[in-house]
């Protein structure tokens, strides 16, 4: 096991009817900016519930944060927060709203051009406004981590930053908030969480037994749950387990003391920035091909994955690895998430465009071994072209 | 899954040579009281390493905290800290030293009789002095939780308190610090962590899939590791995994949103208070008998335990449950930890004495169903009498 620090001070308020609890964790005299995405936050009543919990505090609203939150939009929220002297932010939404709120929180006190927060990936962040979240879409784990991804469509750029200053102070995880989600977003959430775990688990062994067992437990839970999640019935326990799984898939625990990959995400980000494909769908396109392309260096963990996650015990090493990857693809497809570029009407020219953008963004040595050069990324995408 | 709060702000500094990192997390002008147990902390060089990391800060020392830390001893540390105007505590040791330090931290600013912190189990704690820990004995999880147990030999009392004010600010987990531990303490640590997990896992099902998978992963890890731990070789990875397992066995995560038992601990505490048996050994005496006595209400989880932890799939329900309990007993015995009262030269009269103390301490409705009355405790102990 590698040396590591683990620190995660986000308070989780989990369960039905927990929105009211936010009152305890926001200063009574706070000037609160509530950030949200589309009108569903209002339509479902969650926005009203939040405002009721905020009681007599002065509340401002900022709606319209996009899926793949956009820099220009977020800068408008920064301006509003500055001009109204807001001192607490509250994100009501999924990963995009929370990621966007993290950027707003860091940008408000930032001296200099906030765009550099993204180009420098957060190392220049020295403070942030405190904020909490009310999670409505389980997927990204943003509710309990320090990561954020922001898009700038003008530059076809989707860039990540992280900073210990942007831990949410609290996050409300009420499983009933997922009841109104469309099937597509639920399926995306399952795949997003699955790939978060894979990025931290499918590398090379470092003898980290607890991290491995936890990663495997989360993957098995997702596989067991997925049919219940996407069939659209409001099964409280299924939604609760789904929510808790996505949180622990990316909050620092399973990645502590182990190598991490993240090449699937970096390649996927370029696909979203260029072709506006849902984040999770880009991951489903890239991951299986990346595992095949990198099977020599990932072999030991792929065998462990085959046995402990998919119960595959028959056949030689090659066969067991291939079966595990095929089962992973089939799992994504079972959720109506296509795994090939051609399914999205993209061909060879898209591969060259993605490779060019990876080079432009300095993504030239990706993966746990820093061996995924633009050439390797091209080969991965070529494997993803057609079924 | 039940509603729950999860909050754990302790910073973990994990790995070899991490003691030096404490410098970052203690104010530069702090007056630090270092608390430790026996002379091994000095002999092994850990105390020197800690003092070097503390640099020019003013440092006081308080040694001699007992296994099962004693109220009178700890009150001397409270007096020292008050008279020297200490403002940061640093525990160097295992669960007893850390539990003791938590009590000292809460008692220093406490108004009124500090003994009531224990009789009221911490609900009257309103503040505590900040402290960190350097863990030398993996077992209790005290390095990342809010629990503490203190003994008062005059009263034959071993009482627990908990308070959110006594989260360690940081804990250093350096696996090499376990290299000098005697085999007996390592074996105790394995059993202590095993039973911590069992108390939160072997109750009744609430559909908490993540908590169950994590508990099962930790149990399997302990079972896989135990032979390497007690054979006494300084296997870094084995010790690292052991340390990380014991921490997550009792830091709030696997117990969030699920029922918890803790009757084994409450009965065990009385055995330690009366007969000075090692804490872990009392748990090994009580747990198997408690599982047998309560198999009707714990049946579903015992079957899950049999299958997922011990790979038992043959036989009817009764046979599978009994086999899982037999394997658990055999696991404890394989670590040279005896599981029957007669092995400790205790008989019927000890059972009556324990039952009397349980009644005296109000432990009259224990377990996840509050159904373990003194009569049930008596039956549990009678099952533990002889092999």
Q: Which residues contact B40 (CB under 8 A, 6 or more apart)?
A: B136, B180
Average pLDDT on A366-382 reads 98
Whether A286 and A366 have beta carbons less than 8 Å apart is answered as no
> Alpha-carbon distance B257 to B278, whole Å?
30
Q: Whole-angstrom Cα distance, residue B110 to residue B55?
A: 30
Q: How far is A5 from chain B (nearest CA, A)?
A: 5
Both tokens assigned to A65? 């944060």
SS3 B9: strand
* Closest CA relative to residue B251, chosen from B278, B215, B224: B215
User: DSSP code of A85?
Assistant: T
Task: With beta carbons under 8 A apart, name residues in chain B contacting A217.
Answer: 210, 213-214, 216-217
Q: What pLDDT is attached to residue B330?
A: 98
Q: What is the pLDDT of residue A293?
A: 98
* pLDDT values of chain B reduced to their tens digit, one per residue, 387 residues: 999 999 999 999 999 999 999 999 999 999 999 999 999 999 999 999 999 999 999 999 999 999 989 999 999 999 999 999 999 999 999 999 999 999 999 999 999 999 999 999 999 999 999 999 999 999 999 999 999 999 999 988 889 999 999 999 999 999 999 999 999 999 999 999 999 999 999 999 999 999 999 999 999 999 999 999 998 789 999 999 999 999 999 999 999 999 999 999 999 999 999 999 999 999 999 999 999 999 999 999 999 999 999 999 999 999 999 999 999 999 999 999 999 999 999 999 999 999 999 999 899 999 999 999 999 999 999 999 998
- Across the interface, whether the CB atoms of A15 and B9 are under 8 A apart is answered no
Please report how many Cα atoms fall inside a 13 Å half-sphere around the Cα of residue A135, on the Cβ side. 32
**A303-324 pLDDT, tens digit each:** 999 999 999 999 999 999 999 9
Q: What angle do CA B4, B6, B11 make, to 5 degrees?
A: 170
Radius of gyration of chain B (CA): 20
Q: How far is A352 from chain B (nearest CA, A)?
A: 41
Q: Which two tokens stand for residue B350?
A: 């000890």
% of chain A with per-residue pLDDT over 70: 100
Q: What span, in angstroms and rounded, lies between the C-alpha atoms of A248 and B227?
A: 30
Fold of A11-177: Rossmann fold (3.40.50)
pLDDT at A157 over 90: no
Strand-strand pairing, A88-93 and A31-36: parallel
Angle, helices B317-334/B209-230, rounded to nearest 10 degrees:
40
User: Which tens digits make up the pLDDT trace of A115-132?
Assistant: 999 999 999 999 999 999
The residue in chain A having the minimum alpha-carbon distance to the alpha carbon of residue B6 is A12
- CA–CA gap between residue A78 and residue A202 (Å, rounded): 38
- Main-chain dihedrals φ then ψ at residue B26, nearest 5 degrees: -120, 130
| CA separation for the pair B296, B316 (Å, rounded) | 14
Interface of B with A (CB under 8 A): 1-16, 18, 207-210, 213-214, 216-218, 220-221, 224-225, 237, 240-241, 244-245, 248, 256-257
Please answer yes or no on whether B210 and A16 come within 8 Å at the CB atom: no
Per-residue pLDDT reduced to its tens digit, B297-329: 999 999 999 999 999 999 999 999 999 999 999
Residues forming a β-bridge with A171: A12, A133
Taking the CA of residue A245 and the nearest CA in chain B, the distance in Å comes to: 7
| Cα separation, B377 vs A359, whole angstroms | 69
Domain ranges of chain A: 11-177, 183-383
pLDDT attached to residue B232: 79
Give the dihedral sign, CA B298/B299/B304/B310: positive
B265-287: burial string, b at 16+ Cβ within 10 Å, e else: bbbbbbbbbbbebbbbbbbbbbb
pLDDT digits (tens, 9 = 90+) for A17-47: 999 999 999 999 999 999 999 999 999 999 9
Q: Is B227 within 8 Å of B267 (Cβ atoms)?
A: no
Contact B271, B21 (CB under 8 A): no
The pLDDT tens digits of the residues spanning B179-219 come to 999 999 999 999 999 999 999 999 999 999 999 999 999 99
Return the residue of B nearest to A214 by Cα. B214
pLDDT value at residue A233: 87
Q: Could you give the angle at the alpha carbon of B4 between the alpha carbons of B94 and B305, nearest 5°?
A: 65
Residue B169 in contact with residue B10, Cβ under 8 Å? yes
- Find out whether A190 and A154 touch, Cβ atoms under 8 Å: no
What confidence category does residue A58 fall into, taking pLDDT thresholds of 50, 70 and 90? Answer: very high
Q: Do B217 and A216 touch (CB under 8 A)?
A: yes
In 3D space, the residue among B213, B235, B150, B106 whose CA is nearest the CA of residue A207 turns out to be: B235
As to burial, measured by CB atoms within 10 angstroms (0-12 exposed, 13-18 middle, 19+ buried), residue B29 is exposed
Mutate to test the interface with B, among A2, A6, A216, A218 (most CBs of B within 10 A): A6
Residues of A whose CB is below 8 A from B13: 5
Ramachandran angles phi, psi of A43, nearest 5°: -60, -40
The answer to whether B5 contacts A12, with C-beta atoms less than 8 Å apart, is yes
Q: How far apart are the C-alpha atoms of B99 and A375, rounded to whole Å?
A: 56
Task: Give the torsion through C-alpha atoms of A200, A204, A209, A214, to 10 deg.
Answer: 20
User: Of the candidates A366, A297, A209, A253, which has an alpha carbon nearest to the alpha carbon of residue A5?
Assistant: A253
Chain A interface, best mutation among B13, B170, B213, by max A CB count within 10 A: B213
Under DSSP, the state recorded for B37 is: -
Who contacts B272 (Cβ-Cβ below 8 Å, separation ≥6)? B68, B151, B158, B278, B279, B282
The per-residue pLDDT for range A213-262, each reduced to its tens digit, is 999 999 999 999 999 999 878 999 999 999 999 999 999 999 999 999 99
Determine contact, residues A139/A102, Cβ cutoff 8 Å.
Answer: no
Considering only CA atoms, which of B357, B375, B356 is closest in space to residue B365?
B375
For A246, nearest residue in chain B (alpha carbons):
B210
In degrees and rounded to multiples of 5, residue B184 shows phi and psi of -60, -40
Q: Which residues sit opposite A158 in a β-bridge?
A: A151
CA B90 to chain centroid, in Å, comes to 19
Q: What's the pLDDT tens digit per position in A172-182?
A: 999 999 999 99
Q: Which CATH number fits domain B183-383: 3.40.50.720, 2.60.120.200, 1.20.1090.10, 3.40.50.300?
A: 1.20.1090.10
Mean pLDDT of A279-286: 97
Whether A11-177 shares its CATH topology with A183-383 is answered no
CA distance A6 to B120: 32
Per the CB < 8 A criterion, the answer to whether A31 and A86 are in contact is: yes
Average pLDDT on A139-160 reads 93
A364 has a pLDDT exceeding 90: yes
* Residue count (chain B): 387
Q: Do B11 and A5 touch (CB under 8 A)?
A: yes
With CA atoms as reference, report the closest residue to B332 among B190, B229, B201, B197.
B190
CB-CB contact of A201 with A193 (8 Å): no
Q: Give the E-state strand segments of B166-296 in sequence order.
A: 170-173
Pairing between β-strand A4-14 and β-strand B4-14 as defined by DSSP bridges:
antiparallel
């Amino acid at each position: 096991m590698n040396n590591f620090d683990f620190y995660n001070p986000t308070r989780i308020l989990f369960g039905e009817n927990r929105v009211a609890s936010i009152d305890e964790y926001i200063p009574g005299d706070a000037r609160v900016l509530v950030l949200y995405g589309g009108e569903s936050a209002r339509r479902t009543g969650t926005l009203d519930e939040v405002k009721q919990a905020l009681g007599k505090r002065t509340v401002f609203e900022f709606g319209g944060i996009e899926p793949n939150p956009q820099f220009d939009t977020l800068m408008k929220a920064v301006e509003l927060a500055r001009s109204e002297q807001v001192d607490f932010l509250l994100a009501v939404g999924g990963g995009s709203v929370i990621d966007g709120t993290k950027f707003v929180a860091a940008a408000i006190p930032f001296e200099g051009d906030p765009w550099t927060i993204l180009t420098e990936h957060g190392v220049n962040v020295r403070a942030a406004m405190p904020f909490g979240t009310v999670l409505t879409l389980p997927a990204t784990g943003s509710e309990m981590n320090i990561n954020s991804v922001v898009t700038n469509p003008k530059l076809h750029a989707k860039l990540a930053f992280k900073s210990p200053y942007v831990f949410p102070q609290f996050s409300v995880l009420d499983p009933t908030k997922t009841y109104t989600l469309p099937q597509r977003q639920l399926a995306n959430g399952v795949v997003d969480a699955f790939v978060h775990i894979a990025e931290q688990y499918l590398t090379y062994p470092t003898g980290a037994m607890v991290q491995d067992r936890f990663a495997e437990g989360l993957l098995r839970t997702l596989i067991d749950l997925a049919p219940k999640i996407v069939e659209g019935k409001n099964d409280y326990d299924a939604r609760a387990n789904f929510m808790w799984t996505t949180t622990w898939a990316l909050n620092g625990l399973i990645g502590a003391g182990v190598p991490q990959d993240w090449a699937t995400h970096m390649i996927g980000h370029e696909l979203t920035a260029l072709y506006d494909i849902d984040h999770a769908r880009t991951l489903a396109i890239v991951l299986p091909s990346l595992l095949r392309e990198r099977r020599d260096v990932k072999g030991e963990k792929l065998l462990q994955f085959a046995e402990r996650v998919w119960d595959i015990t028959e056949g030689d090493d090659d066969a067991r690895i291939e079966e595990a990857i095929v089962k992973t693809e089939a799992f994504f497809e079972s959720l109506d998430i296509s795994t090939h570029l051609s399914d999205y009407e993209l061909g060879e020219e898209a591969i060259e465009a993605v490779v060019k953008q990876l080079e432009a963004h300095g993504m030239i040595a990706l993966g746990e071994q820093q061996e995924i050069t633009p050439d390797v990324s091209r080969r991965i995408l070529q494997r993803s072209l057609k079924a």
